[in-house]
Amino acid sequence: MKFCCRTFSFVAAIILNMNFAYAQQNDNSKNDTIPLRYGAHRISARKDTMMQRWRDYGLGQFIHWGVYAIPGGHWENKTYHGASEWIRTWSGPASPKDWKSIYDQLYKQFNPVSFKASEWAKQAKTMGAKYVIFTTKHHDGFCLWPSKYTNYTIANTPYRKDIVKEIVEAYDAEGIDVYLYFSIIDWNHSGYSSSIPKNQADSMAYERFKKFTRNQLIELLDRYPKAKGLWFDGSWDAAWIKQAAFTNELEKELRELHPGLIIGSRFRADDYGKRHFDSNGRMMGDYEQGWERKLPAHIDLVKTNDWDAVMTIPPNQWGYNSDWQSSYIKTPYDLTDMLMHAVSMNGNLVINFGPDGKGNIRDEEDNVAVKLGAWMDINHEAVYGTTYANLPKPDYGYFTKKDNKLFLTVFNLPLNRLVRIAIPKNFGSAPSKANLLSNMNPLALKRTDMGLDRDQNIYYDVTIPDHFHAKDPFVIVFELKQLDKDKKDYGDSKI
Ligand code: JFZ
C-alpha cells in the first residue's frame, strides 16, 4: 500500500514537472498532462520564412483531377449521388453493372488533349491565388505522375506525360507555390485496408502498403523539389490511425528530406488515436487542416492557430461533375465573403476547381476566377499578409489588419450609409484617417459621442458619400495611430 502511494506520488510529480516545463514555453500547457511518444512535434507555431509565406497567402486554388473526371458523376444516363471523385464506390441496384471494373479500366481512356498547364496557372494568377493544392493521387489510387511503385499511373494512359510535373512547372513559373495533395486511402493497392489487420496475412499486406506509401511520398519530394508542402487526405481509417509510431517517423523523415516542408494536421494520429490535435491539445502539424466547406463561426474556434479552409463551389463536389444545375452554385460574391471571413480569422481560403476529362476548366469556374480576380486586383491589400484585427466582428463585414492599417471589407452597407466601428478603449491605437481602398479617396472620419455607460468601446463613424455606389463589396482603410497612454485621448473615459 505504502509503495503504491509512493509510486503514485512519484508519477504525479513527474507529470507535474513536465507540465511545469511546458508552462514556461507555452501558455496552453495546462493540458500537457499526458505523456506522448507520438504527439505534436512542436509546442508553438513555426516562425520560419516558409511558414510566414504560407500565412500571407490568403487565397489558394485546389484542383481535383483524375480519371473520375471522365464519368463526371454520371454513367449510362445514371446519376451517382455522392461527390463525383468518390464515384468508384458506386454500388447498389441503381449503379451500372460491374461498375468497379468499368471504373478501373477508365484510365485507358484518360487523354486530356485540351489540358494546358500554363493556362490553368495563368487563370489562377488572374484570380489572385498565391498557392495551389493539386491531387497527385486521390482515393482511387490513380497517380498523375509516373510513379515507379505502381502501374496505375498517367504513364499507362494515352496521355502518358507527367501531369504533376507540368503543373509544378507552370504554376511555379507564375510565382504560385505548389502543394501536393496525397490520399493515404488507396483503393488500388492490394495491401491497403481501412480496418485494422486481423491476422498475419493482413498485417503483412498492410506492411507492404505502408512501405509503398512511404516510397511514393519520398518519390514525390524527390521528383518535385519545388513543392512547398504536402496536403494529406484519407488518413482517417482505423488501420492508419493505429500506425502512430510509423507515421511519426515518416513525418520526421519527410521534413528532413525537404527542409521547410509544410504539412497540415491531417496526416497522422497520436499514441491514443487523436487526430489534428494530440491528447494534450497540441496541433499535429504546421496548420489546422480540418476546415472543409465550412468556416469557423467565431475566432475562439481557431484561436491563434494557423489554418486553411478548402471550399467547393457547388455544395459538395470536388472532382468534375457534369451537372451543376441541380444545386446551389456559390457566386463570386459568396466566395469573396468566405475569403474575407477566413482571412479575418487568420485562415487561408482555398477554392476548388474540378477540370473535366479533356482538361477543360468549366465556364462557371472561369467566371469565379475572373470576377474574384477583378475584385482582388482592387482590394488585395486587405487580403495578402493581413491578420485577425483583434476587434469585435462588425455587422458590415470583416476586419483585417496589417501594421498600422485596419481594413474593413464592407458587404452590408446600411440604408443610412453610416459605418460605425467600435474600437475597445484598451486597443492601444485608434483610427486617425479613413480612405476607400479602391481609389484612396478620403472619407470623413468622426469620433462619436455615444453618451456614458459601461461600454468599453469608442465609436468612429464614416459616412459613405451619396455619389459612391458600390456594386461589389468595398474596402475602407483606416490608418491607426498609436494612443499615448498618458494623454487620455478618450471621449468618455472620465466616468
Ligand atoms: C476528403 C475527400 O474524401 C474528398 O473527396 C475531397 O478530396 C476532400 C478535399 O477531402 O473529404 C473529406 C475529408 C475530411 C472531411 C470531410 C470530407 N472532414 O474532415 O470533415
**Ligand 1 atom, smallest distance to 318 CA:** 6
Please state the φ and ψ torsions of residue 231, each to the nearest 5 degrees. -110, 100
Angstrom distance (rounded) from CA 427 to CA 409: 20
Domain-embedded: residue 14: yes
31 Cα: distance to centroid of ligand 1 (angstroms): 29
270 lines ligand 1 (CB under 6 A): no
Give a yes or no: residue 388 inside a domain: no
State how far the Cα of 310 lies from the Cα of 133, in Å rounded to an integer: 10
**In 403-491, which ranges are E strands?**
405-410, 418-424, 429-436, 442-443, 445-448, 457-463, 474-482
Cell of 475: 474596402
For a mutational test of ligand 1's pocket, the pick from 318, 320, 351, 353, i.e. the residue with the most ligand atoms closer than 8 A to its C-beta, is 318
CA dist 52 and 181 (Å) reads 21
- Cα 129–130–131 angle (5° rounding)? 95
- For the stretch 286-344, pLDDT in tens is 999 988 888 999 999 998 899 999 999 999 999 999 999 989 999 999 999 999 999 99
Query: Is the CB–ligand 1 distance for residue 112 below 6 Å?
Result: no
φ and ψ at 409, to 5 degrees? -90, 115
Q: Is 376 in the pocket of ligand 1 (CB under 6 A)?
A: no
Q: Long-range contacts: 172-176, Cβ < 8 Å, 24+?
A: 172/226, 173/118, 173/121, 174/121, 174/122, 174/124, 174/125, 175/125, 176/61, 176/121, 176/124, 176/125, 176/129, 176/130, 176/131, 176/132
User: Distances from the Cα of 122 to the Cαs of 62, 176, 475, in angstroms?
Assistant: 14, 10, 26
Residue ID of nearest Cα to ligand 1 atom 10: 233
Question: Are the beta carbons of 112 and 43 closer than 8 angstroms?
Answer: no
Residue range 118-131: mean pLDDT, rounded: 98
- Nearest protein Cα to ligand 1, atom 17: 292
**Do residues 334 and 405 both lie within one domain?**
no
Cα-to-centroid distance, 483 and ligand 1 (Å): 46
Percentage of the chain modeled with pLDDT above 90: 86
Judge whether residue 208 has pLDDT over 60: yes
Is there an atom of ligand 1 within 6 Å of 292 CB? Answer: yes
| 180 belongs to a structural domain | yes
Whether residue 20 is predicted with pLDDT greater than 70 in this model: the reply is no
- Ligand 1 geometric centre to CA of 236 (Å): 10
Place of cell 452554385: 329
Q: Which residues contact 491 (CB under 8 A, 6 or more apart)?
A: 447, 448, 449, 450, 458
Looking at residue 105, what is its pLDDT? 98
Copy the grid coordinates of residue 227. 513543392
Asked whether 318 lines ligand 1 (CB < 6 A), one says yes
pLDDT digits (tens, 9 = 90+) for 340-382: 999 999 999 999 999 999 999 999 999 999 999 999 999 999 9
- Would 150 be classed as within a structural domain? yes
Residue 262, burial from CB neighbour count under 10 angstroms (0-12, 13-18, 19+): buried
Helices (H), 381-458: none
Residue 10 CA to ligand 1 centre (angstroms): 44
- Examine the domain organization and report whether 401 and 374 are in the same domain: no
Q: What is the pLDDT of residues 69-98, one digit of tens each?
A: 999 999 999 999 999 999 999 999 999 999
CB atoms within 10 A of CB 383: 28
Q: 473 with 327, same domain?
A: no
Residue 5 in this model has a pLDDT that exceeds 90: no
Phi, psi angle pair for 288, to nearest 5°: -80, 125
Report, as an integer, the average pLDDT of 269-284.
Answer: 96
- The answer to whether the Cα torsion of 406, 474, 171, 294 is positive or negative is positive
What does the buried/exposed string (b/e) look like for 197-220 if buried means 16 or more CB atoms within 10 Å of the residue's CB? beeeeeeeebeebbebbbebbebb
Confidence of residue 13 (pLDDT cuts 50, 70, 90): very low
Cα 85 to averaged position of ligand 1 atoms, centre (Å): 10
Model confidence, pTM: 0.92
Ligand 1 lined by 140 (C-beta under 6 Å): no
Q: Is the pLDDT of residue 487 over 60?
A: no
Same structural domain for residues 235 and 330?
yes
DSSP state, 259? Answer: T
> Cβ distance 399 to 408 under 8 Å?
yes
Residue 361 lies in a domain: yes
Task: Specify the number of domains making up the chain.
Answer: 2
Statement to judge: residues 363 and 481 lie in one domain: no
Question: Residue 25: is its pLDDT beyond 80?
Answer: no
Mean pLDDT of the chain, nearest integer: 92
How would residue 57 be classed by pLDDT, with cut points 50, 70 and 90?
very high
Ligand 1 atom nearest to 64, measured from its CA: 7
Domain boundary residue, one of 319, 353, 382: 382
Nearest-CA residue for atom 20 of ligand 1: 292
- Ligand 1 centre and the CA of 293: distance in Å? 9
CA torsion 309-310-314-316 (nearest 10°) is -100
**Of the candidates 308, 325, 310, 309, the residue with the CA atom closest to the CA atom of residue 362:** 325
Q: pLDDT at residue 490 above 60?
A: no
The preferred substitution site among 136, 180, 187, 233 for testing ligand 1, maximizing ligand atoms within 8 Å of CB, is 233
From the CB of 375, is ligand 1 less than 6 Å away?
A: no
Q: What are the residues whose beta carbons fall under 8 Å from the beta carbon of 375, sequence distance 6 or more? A: 332, 336, 472, 473
What is the CA(66)–ligand 1 centre distance, in A?
16
Domain of 464, in residue numbers: 397-490
For residue 49, the model assigns a pLDDT of 98
Cα distance between residue 340 and residue 384, in whole Å: 11
pLDDT band at 483 (very low <50, low <70, confident <90, very high): confident
Atom of ligand 1 nearest to the CA of 138: 7
Decide if pLDDT at 222 tops 70.
Answer: yes
CATH at 466: 2.60.40.1180
In a domain, 63, yes or no: yes
Shortest-distance atom of ligand 1 to CA 181: 7
- Nine-digit cell string for 414: 446600411
Query: Model confidence over 391-445: pLDDT tens digits?
Result: 999 999 999 999 999 999 999 999 999 999 999 989 999 999 999 999 989 999 9
The torsion angles phi and psi of 29, rounded to 5 degrees, stand at -60, -20
Q: What percent of the chain has pLDDT over 70?
A: 91
CA–centroid distance, 350 to ligand 1, in Å, is 13
The residue among 273, 277, 296, 274 whose CA lies nearest residue 288 is 277
Measured from the Cα of 85, ligand 1's closest atom is 5
Strand partners, 310: 292, 350
For residue 391, tell me if it sits in a domain.
no
Same domain, 374 and 402: no
Q: Which residue has the higher pLDDT, 487 or 196?
A: 196
pLDDT of 16 higher than 60: no
- 370 and 404 housed in the same domain: no
Q: Which three cell numbers stand for residue 48?
A: 520560419
pLDDT tier for residue 1 given thresholds of 50, 70 and 90? very low
CA of 214 to the centre of ligand 1 (A): 21
CATH number at residue 226: 3.20.20.80
Here the cell at position 167 is 503543373
How many Å lie between the centroid of ligand 1 and the Cα of residue 233?
A: 7
Could you give the CA distance from residue 381 to residue 243 in angstroms, rounded to a whole number?
A: 43
84 and 24, same structural domain?
yes
Sequence-distant (≥ 6) Cβ neighbours of residue 10 within 8 angstroms? none
Expressed in angstroms and rounded, the spacing between residue 83 Cα and the centre of ligand 1 is 10
Q: What is the pLDDT of residues 451-466, one digit of tens each?
A: 767 788 899 999 999 9
pLDDT at 17: 37
Of all protein residues, the one whose alpha carbon is nearest to atom 3 of ligand 1 is 234
Residue with CA nearest ligand 1 atom 19: 290
Q: How far is the CA of 149 from the centre of ligand 1 (A)?
A: 25
Q: What is the position in ligand 1's atom list of the atom closest to the CA of 310?
A: 9
Judgement on whether residues 402 and 313 belong to the same structural domain of the protein: no
Q: Are 96 and 102 in contact (CB under 8 A)?
A: yes
341 located within any domain: yes
Q: Is the CB of 85 under 6 A from ligand 1?
A: yes
Q: What is the pLDDT of residue 30?
A: 54
